[in-house]
Amino acid sequence: MTHARPTILLQALLALLALALSAPAQAQPAVGANIRASLVADGPPVPGKTWTVALHFAPKSAEWHGYWSNPGDAGVGMALKWRLPDGWTAGEPLYPVPRKLLISGLMNHVFEGEYAVLVPIAVPADAAVANAAPIEVEADYLACTDRICVPERARLALAPAAAATDARFDRWRAALAPLLDRPVRYEIAGNELRLAIPLPAAMGVFEPHVFIETRDLVNYAAVQSFARDGDTLVAELPLAETVVAPARIGGILALGQGNGVRFRGEPGTVTTAGIPLETTTATALPNLWLALAGAVLGGLLLNIMPCVFPILSLKALALAKAGGEEKQARRDALGYTAGVVIACLALGAVMLALRAGGEQVGWAFQLQKPGVVVALLVLAVAITASFLGAFEMPSLRLTGGGASGGGSFLTGLLAAFVATPCTGPFMAAALGAALLLPAAQALLLFAALGLGLALPFLLLGFVPALRKRLPRPGPWMVAFRRWMALPMGLTALALAWLAWRLGGANYLLAALALAGLVTALLALLWGERGIGKAGRAAGLAILATAAVALIVVLPGFRATSAARAEAGLLDAKPFSEAALAEARAAGKPVFVWFTADWCLTCKVNEGAVIERESTREAFERAGVVVLRGDWTRPDEQITRFLAAQGAAGVPLYLWYPARSGPAVQLPQVLTPGLLAGLANGTEGSARLATGSD
């Protein structure tokens, strides 16, 4: 230890004495307070729900700072005394990621500038919230500069029924360190506390530092060392002079730039393997660039998916038929690219905003909503009918006309929206990293995804040599367009099946009726006009009225219970963390597989690799426990687990070896024989799964 423990104890005793003698006049935040506190609620409480309140702290100048629950070598953590209505209970305060402050060899864990501590309050189901008595809290905390410390006390009150929603809560929630779904393993080896923290290898780590909640367990000012072992970050923290091994630990892993994750720890074995991690900001840059490259490549691969390839093909042929005018081609390409990138940015921004607001969502979250699936089904049916010649959409027109920047923009929006469930293998790391990156960098990844998706058409618009290689226009283009109805029709069938899975048979029939009405409406609007103006206007009015009426009543057709998938060859149990822990405790190998009905890659893997007789036989011989996580509908537990693995969506495949050892994250595109080889202990399959040479 590099500091004197008696000095620290004396400082703490003096601070506690000052707190005890502080005057009650400091009840509400006084004008002269060094760090002013206020109590804010996230709207009025709801009976039976958790109500969140915030203690907001605002220093009067930049030199003042507050403290985390474990202040470090010096300082005092905040103490709260609540007075709540009968049956109401306050939970554990939730802090943002603290910062290190080293003064004269003493390490402090502090907050600089404004910050908020969120406190969940459990409200009884029978609470009369409209007449509830005001809640009160007495907060004792320490305000310090580099030279002096002043104990402060604030008595704050809030009337629950009069509480208004505060827009700052979204920002305050986003600043909290999210809790890892899986516990951290820890052990005391010699004079070190060693932690095995589950953290995806693709996640950038800028300047890691572990803040431990337990007081006087580690040497706060000593250098912490880190190593990477696949998807595990191994941290080694020098211990304090005399410690007693705790039964459990908790804390926050700071990742740099204000980001971090909260964890709970359990005793266990921590690997001694791993590659030492350089704790400088420069080491994180290659990870960001790698994620950007993966996003661009993943978006590029989406162009070969059946829901995107027909649209791209028809746009390319329309560009070829329009002639070789450079200005028109570029305008068309830029319009399409703008539509794709804006759609990806919008979807990414909505996902990040929902997560910041406490919702557990991931990429392609919109496909968990029945209404969105129906809208996509209607579009897919209409596009299929257009390809078959029922009518020509303006943005996909082959007969006459030139380039259309506006039409291409709308086509780009459509292509990006329907492509999101087809997250390819190169997109997993990029989109998983976006969940913990700062918002600006995360949005940059979503923009890179859109750029990759738009890249083929963008190159056609700006590179004349590529346009010259396109086939010459001719009658064959009409036949080609009709062939493109096949993959788009298959997309419509997949969406119809998903609508059935989400809402039942009646919901599917109503959705198909709506698709038929909209298709007939578009055919009357853009198709061959064999009827007069009066008849056409009447038909449009009738079809539009029927479509609107069906949209209004459509939710009523949705079944209350979900359609169940037929049992597969594997005896898979529903995924839960408890089931995973039970299987691991039994010492058996475990295969965990996360899927969704709207995930094309998932279904291909299931048909070609997972649900095969050879896989079943190998799993039975090895006693493999199979857990299946169905993410077709929103599931907060699965979403949190995916995020902890660095995955923004599905598919995700994990292999847990028998007895012990960390999980092996398998490729998103499985190869025949991989799972059987892992079950049989085949060396080559193990190397392939782990990515080793």
- The pairing of beta strand 149-158 with beta strand 184-189: unpaired
Task: Tell me which residue has tokens 């991690």.
Answer: 277
Beta-carbon count within 10 A of 160 CB: 24
- Position 566 pLDDT exceeds 70: no
- Position 385 pLDDT exceeds 50: yes
**pLDDT for residue 524:** 82
Structure confidence at residue 236 as a pLDDT band (50, 70, 90): very high
- Position 508 pLDDT exceeds 60: yes
- Position 1 pLDDT exceeds 90: no
Its CATH architecture, for the domain 573-690, is 3-Layer(aba) Sandwich (3.40)
**pLDDT for residue 78:** 92
- Position 285 pLDDT exceeds 80: no
- Position 441 pLDDT exceeds 70: yes
Mean pLDDT of the 473-489 span: 79
At 239 the three-state DSSP class reads strand
Report whether the peptide linkage leading into residue 471 is cis, meaning its omega lies within 30 degrees of zero.
Answer: no
Across 76-90, 532-546, 624-638, 654-668, which has the greatest mean pLDDT? 76-90
**pLDDT for residue 597:** 78
**pLDDT for residue 692:** 45
- Position 209 pLDDT exceeds 90: yes
- Position 568 pLDDT exceeds 70: no
Structure confidence at residue 15 as a pLDDT band (50, 70, 90): very low
**pLDDT for residue 357:** 56
Beta-carbon count within 10 A of 553 CB: 9
**pLDDT for residue 11:** 47
Residue 80 to residue 57: CA distance in whole angstroms: 14
Name which of 355-364, 442-451, 483-492 the model is least confident about: 355-364
**pLDDT for residue 327:** 81
Identical fold for domains 5-173 and 184-279, yes or no, is yes
**pLDDT for residue 599:** 76
**pLDDT for residue 286:** 42
The CATH fold assigned to 184-279 is Immunoglobulin-like (2.60.40)
Across all residues in the chain, what is the average pLDDT?
79
**pLDDT for residue 56:** 94
**pLDDT for residue 21:** 40
E strands within 550-617? 573-574, 590-595
Mean pLDDT of the 225-249 span: 85
**pLDDT for residue 443:** 85
- Position 107 pLDDT exceeds 70: yes
**pLDDT by residue (tens digit) across 315-353?**
676 666 655 577 888 888 888 899 889 988 888 888 777
Name which of 100-104, 146-150, 659-663, 676-680 the model is least confident about: 659-663
- Position 612 pLDDT exceeds 50: yes
- Of 250, 256, 267, nearest to 95 (Cα)? 250
- Quick one: which H or E segment has residue 480? helix 476-503
**pLDDT for residue 27:** 35
Write down the CATH superfamily of domain 5-173.
Thiol:disulfide interchange protein DsbD, N-terminal domain (2.60.40.1250)
Mean pLDDT of the 432-445 span: 71
Beta-carbon count within 10 A of 611 CB: 14
Mean pLDDT of the 101-114 span: 87
**Domain ranges in the chain?**
5-173, 184-279, 285-557, 573-690
Mean pLDDT of the 69-88 span: 91
- Quick one: which H or E segment has residue 383? helix 370-387
E strands within 536-681? 573-574, 590-595, 625-630, 652-656, 664-665
- Position 212 pLDDT exceeds 90: yes
Structure confidence at residue 280 as a pLDDT band (50, 70, 90): very low
- Position 632 pLDDT exceeds 70: yes
**pLDDT for residue 99:** 92
- Position 240 pLDDT exceeds 80: yes
Name which of 384-388, 429-433, 568-572 the model is least confident about: 429-433
The percentage of residues in the chain with a pLDDT greater than 90, rounded to a whole number, is 18
Please write down the long-range contacts of 524-528, taking CB distance under 8 Å and 24 or more positions apart: 525/391, 526/391, 526/392, 526/393, 526/394, 527/390, 527/391, 527/392
**pLDDT for residue 281:** 37
Mean pLDDT of the 575-591 span: 83
